[in-house]
Chain A
């Protein structure tokens, strides 16, 4: 059996809004094997993004255990979580979230600032990541000079550059036209199949979900079913 890169056991997540406590995730148990491409689907408010945040180490559970890449995230403090994120996970957002004042190459270099790599090595690695996502020719361009699809490729290069085992993508094609969306999804598929990256995407788009090897459906903070795709 393939080793799980993500392992959740009885995970609850509650938010307190004023005097009200809102339960977003309830007793969630899930294993995602290493090298899998998973699509998390479900209606708005079903808890997809909250689950993604927990897996990515951006948030901590109210109770339960979360183990990602062999590390118990629910036991880490904010500083340790930050260090863990820098080394083990790459993030891709719906609106790319690139730094508008930096060139594509500088954006991709950002995670490498946290390493001891030399400036030349950082630049070389950033260019390699941009080459991998097919956008090395736009390295000197700023985000405002890129199309949505190109900007999302830069964001994927940034997520990849520190060579994490896991990519978490929140609606990565939500802001793209169909053609660009398919290109980005194909790129993610290549990264999964040829480079062994484990990928979890949150999406509303059934066509996007078809690119994943497994779809998970959520509703009201719980996993409904699991299906394996081709």
Chain B
């Protein structure tokens, strides 16, 4: 601690240069915080379908290939399966494509049986949903987001499904109620959900009738999940629609990976940023030490040993990088709400910042070590010869 004033004063020896270097590292860590948070969110999604007691069955080859609705009966007959429900990908948005709505056509009875106890929904509104063919039950966050209320008619544009009646991609629903989830960790994942009737969807669409995108199953004994998965898939082996049954969490991961390896892409960008930063900061540190060679020689003359001089230069590098990292990560933390708006459905966690401090230390050591070694190896007589 007694060396801190010396390290601090040395760091600010050339204020303008230090400020610009600091800013470049701050920006890099701002990017790090934002991208790492997003990458973390993609790598650790909070699924809308939770629990080891839930399985998801999709087409073996791709989630984009449908399965016949009639498979539900066969799946229900598998020992250990206590409930089955089915859903289809609707791909809807409200007015503009940026207003994505996770609209899901469901079979009301089986869906709410399978998710018993997971939702908070008013009995009256649930009954109204059952009774209204064009009814929609919306997550309360979605209602709030668009300012919708019970009684409103909500038009959604599907990116896939045309209506049999007029070939339109627009589907209109009557808002009959709202729901929220009991598990707070699922709140974000469910925040864009709009539930509507599978019957309406299946009868109204101009193609794909009788098909579903995936089945969800609840198993009575979670320890038997793997065996039950195998049993379900065995049912459809060698059929035109072979299946892949997996735990719900794995399904969520696979779903996200349809968009590519987001984590890899984001980390590749970060890698490029830090590679550039290494040169920039490394060059600045080298230049800074080069300018201070007589001063470092004086420290050695006064009795500072090689190790102390090495430590002083490294401490300067650490101080710069960690200070910049803390500022950059704090700024990126402040941007979390904005990122959340753009990535609804993904739970962003500030825990992703933890590697940031590690990265700052690593960066400091990489850029600080060459000049620190140079300072350590400095020959006093040669260094003083220029300026005595």
Contacts and interface: CB of A to CB of B under 8 A. Distances in A.
A106 to B, nearest CB: 7
A87 B295 contact: no
Most A Cβ at <10 Å: residue of B303, B304, B388 = B303
A53 B13 contact: no
A59 B381 contact: yes
Contacts, number: 77
Given A97-B388, A114-B303, A119 B9 contact: no
Contacts of B305: 78-79, 82-83
A95 interface: yes
A58 B12 contact: no
B380 A97 contact: no
B381 A86 contact: no
Most A Cβ at <10 Å: residue of B6, B298, B301, B306 = B301
A95 B387 contact: yes
Interface size class of A (residues with CB under 8 A): 20 to 34
Contact of B306 (A79, A97, A101, A102): A79
Contacts of B388: 49, 93-95, 97, 170-171
Nearest to A15: B381
Interface residues of B, number: 26
B6 A53 contact: no
Given A110-B302, A114-B303, A101 B387 contact: no
Contact of A85 (B9, B10, B12, B301): B301
Nearest to A102: B9
Given A101-B10, A113-B2, A170-B388, A91 B301 contact: yes
Contacts of A158: 302
B13 A106 contact: no
A91 B387 CA distance: 14
Tell me the dominant secondary structure on chain B's binding face. Answer: helix
A101 to B, nearest CB: 4
Tell me the dominant secondary structure on chain A's binding face. Answer: helix
A113 B3 contact: yes
A142 B247 CA distance: 69
A58 to B, nearest CB: 5
A101 B381 CA distance: 23
A82 B12 CA distance: 27
Interface in B117-137: none
Contacts of A84: 303
A53 to B, nearest CB: 6
Interface string B213-247: 00000000000000000000000000000000000
A56 B299 CA distance: 14
B306 A78 contact: yes
Interface in A84-129: 84-87, 91, 93-95, 97, 99-102, 106, 110-111, 113-114, 119, 122
A101 B302 contact: no
Nearest to A111: B302
Contacts of A113: 2-3, 6
B7 to A, nearest CB: 11
Interface in A21-66: 49, 53, 56, 58-59
The 3 closest A-B pairs by CB, nearest first: A86-B303, A101-B9, A82-B305
Interface of B: 2-3, 5-6, 9-10, 12-13, 294-295, 298-308, 380-381, 384, 387-388
